[in-house]
A = this chain, B = another copy of it.
Amino acid sequence: MSAALEALQQRLGYRFQQASLLARALTHRSHGADHNERLEFLGDAVLNLTISRLLYDRFSGSDEGDLTRVRAHLVREESLHRVALALRLPEVLKLSEGEARGGGAQRPSILADATEALLGAVYLDGGDAAAHALVKQLFGELIDTTTIDNWRKDAKTELQELLQGKRLPVPSYRIVATHGQAHAQTFDVEAAVPALQLSSMGSGRSRRAAEQEAARQLLDKLRAPPAR
């Protein structure tokens, strides 16, 4: 095995039993028949499950919608591309001469796919536990520093979409009160959906924040299970 692949295994914290799997994971389809696309198919699913489990444990109070949004953010090409650069995959990718000349080793989609293929290869070589440990190592910091609110859909947008889905008019917002000094004001806002005879209050340090809070409260009311 080449020194470059030895170094990659150091960075991965994983040593392959089957070196051929590692080589295949790093081979772009332009290079030859034994390429990484099937491993990428598998790795994509490995990543999806491992990230799902990590998010499930970390955000124990979050609902499915929020978890799904955060997961989509974490498994997108940009995140995978960043991981590929941290692993220095451009140095070890095998591409056809044409692809290589065209800058293929720097192309985000090619690098993201190779990252997934590597995960698939580790999963086949070392099983669930090895793959889980690797995902945790590669994405752990990203997950630890993620706060779910960043990826929560804007509550006003969500409320509006939900009402439009029921063919109801958009909600109204009005400032009910303001408190405090000019530079440290708090706003109380009411969000109302007259057609449903529903309204909610929200408070915040800005009008926008108060509206968001009022919309979130209204959403919760709309989604509460019907009284039994």
Q: Show the binding face of A for B, using Cβ within 8 Å.
A: 29-33, 37-38, 40-42, 44-46, 48-49, 52-53, 56, 62-64, 67-68, 96-98, 128, 225-226, 228
Query: What are 9 pairs between A and B in contact, CB < 8 Å?
Result: A37-B63, A37-B64, A38-B67, A41-B68, A45-B45, A45-B52, A45-B53, A97-B228, A98-B226
Asked if residues B63 and A31 are in contact (CB atoms below 8 Å), the reply is no
Least Cβ distance of A181 to chain B in Å? 39
CB distance A41 to B29 under 8 Å? no
Q: Is A228 a contact of B45 with CB atoms below 8 Å?
A: no
Contact indicator A228/B41 (Cβ below 8 Å): no
Query: Quick one: copies of this chain in the complex?
Result: 2
Q: How far is the CA of A97 from the CA of B44 in the complex (A)?
A: 40
Least distance between A124 CB and chain B CB atoms (Å): 8
A48 to chain B, nearest CB (A): 5
Chain B residues with CB below 8 A from A45, complex form:
45, 48-49, 52-53
Report the Cα distance A123→B37, complex, angstroms: 27
Q: How far is the CA of A70 from the CA of B150 in the complex (A)?
A: 35
CA distance A42 to B29 in the complex (A): 32
A96 and B38 in contact, given A45-B52, A49-B45 (Cβ under 8 angstroms): no
**In chain B, what residue has the closest Cβ to A120?**
B56
Which residues on B sit within 8 Å (CB–CB) of A96? 225-226, 228
Q: Kindly identify which residue among B33, B41, B63, B64 contacts A52, using a CB–CB cutoff of 8 Å.
A: B41
A29 to B37, CA, bound (A): 39
A82 to B157, CA, bound (A): 36
Which B residues lie within 8 Å of A30 (CB)? 225-226
Give every chain B residue within 8 A of A32 (Cβ-Cβ): 225
CA distance A46 to B132 in the complex (A): 13
Assembled-state Cα–Cα distance A41/B54 (Å) = 12
